[in-house]
């Protein structure tokens, strides 16, 4: 059994760890709420843009964003966090994309991977894959420069004509304790994909039919307006996915740190019980030794008196 000093050191170390995990839990909870507000705000904006595109779907098919292609590779854009300590979120994201039918049914030369986040970069390297582009260390607030950098690379691959589909892999935030992994078709922006996205966002709410825009007035032109809306949709969908990733990351980290704090509490209680038992045993042993010594001294006194 360890000594009392060793047990006290373990208790002190566990208490220090508990302070750290508790602080990380509180910070994660605060940031989670911040990114919840951000991604919900962007989601409402994206929904408005998607609804505008739905009404313009006849004109949308003439843009490069809605171009259907028979040949070309599929670009998978995998979003993960840069840091760990957020439960199984990154593991689920990585496992989902590489085990998905979309990935496995394609030949190696028919699929491309773009990674966003250090964990995705490390996973690709571990599997011997070479991403067409990797991004890590993006600011959490996702500055316009960072967002534009990523979106330009995606659009560069799309406009080259070598890619026929772009699939975005990111978490879908439900609540602080639940999230789902989704593989969403990012490009092309077909009318079917737009309607499916609106239906997924609105749940049971019905998505109306497209309306004729013959009587509508566009300035400077129909093509320019639809092109601009489509560009904004591509940007807003990526920013929404990034903020939703961050909300999920911090909610997962909050839950993980909460569990770590509770585990530290249990550890402290267990060590305290061990310490008390060891201390009680030491006190009992000392009392026994004192009693034995007292008895020995009493016996010696009796022996000396008898000899006299």
90-115 residue pLDDT tens? 999 999 999 999 999 999 999 999 99
Q: Give SS3 for 210.
A: coil
Tell me which DSSP letter residue 209 carries.
P
pLDDT per position as a tens digit, 199-249: 888 775 555 555 555 556 677 777 888 889 999 999 999 999 999 999 999
Q: What is the pLDDT of residue 287?
A: 80
Q: Supply 24's token pair.
A: 């990380």
Other residues' Cβ atoms within 10 Å of the Cβ of residue 285: 10
Residues 6 or more apart from 22 whose CB is under 8 A from it? 257, 261
Q: What is the pLDDT of residue 308?
A: 47
This prediction's pTM: 0.85
Q: How would you list the strands of the sheet with 73-79, edge to edge?
A: 133-135, 111-116, 73-79, 163-175, 178-187
Who wins on pLDDT, 191 or 123? 123
Who wins on pLDDT, 246 or 298? 246
Tell me which DSSP letter residue 56 carries.
T
Mean per-residue pLDDT of the chain = 88
Average pLDDT over residues 118-127: 94
């Amino acid at each position: 059994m360890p000594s009392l000093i060793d047990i006290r050191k373990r208790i002190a170390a566990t208490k220090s760890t508990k302070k750290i995990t508790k602080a990380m839990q509180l910070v994660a909870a605060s940031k989670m709420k911040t990114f919840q507000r951000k991604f919900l705000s962007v989601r409402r904006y994206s929904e408005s843009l998607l609804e505008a595109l739905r009404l313009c779907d006849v004109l949308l098919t003439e843009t490069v964003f809605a171009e259907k292609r028979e040949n070309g590779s599929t670009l998978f854009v995998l979003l993960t966090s840069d840091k760990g300590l957020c439960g199984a979120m990154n593991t689920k994201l990585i496992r989902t994309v590489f085990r998905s039918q979309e990935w496995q049914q394609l030949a190696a030369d028919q699929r491309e991977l773009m990674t966003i986040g250090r964990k995705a970069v490390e996973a690709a390297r571990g599997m011997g894959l070479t991403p067409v582009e990797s991004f890590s260390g993006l600011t959490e607030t996702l500055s316009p420069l960072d967002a534009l950098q990523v979106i330009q690379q995606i659009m560069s691959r799309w406009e080259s004509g070598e890619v026929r589909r772009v699939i975005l892999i990111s978490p879908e935030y439900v609540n602080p304790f639940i999230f789902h992994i989704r593989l969403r078709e990012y490009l092309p922006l077909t009318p079917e994909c737009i309607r499916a996205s609106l239906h997924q966002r609105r749940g049971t709410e019905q998505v109306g039919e497209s309306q004729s825009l013959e009587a509508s007035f566009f300035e400077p032109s129909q093509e320019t307006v639809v092109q601009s809306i489509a560009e904004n949709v591509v940007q807003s969908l990526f920013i929404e996915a990034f903020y939703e990733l961050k909300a999920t990351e911090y909610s997962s980290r909050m839950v993980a740190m909460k569990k770590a704090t509770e585990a530290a509490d249990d550890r402290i209680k267990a060590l305290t019980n061990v310490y008390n038992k060891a201390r009680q045993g030491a006190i009992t042993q000392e009392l026994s030794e004192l009693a034995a010594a007292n008895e020995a001294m009493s016996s010696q006194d009796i022996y000396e008196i008898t000899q006299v």
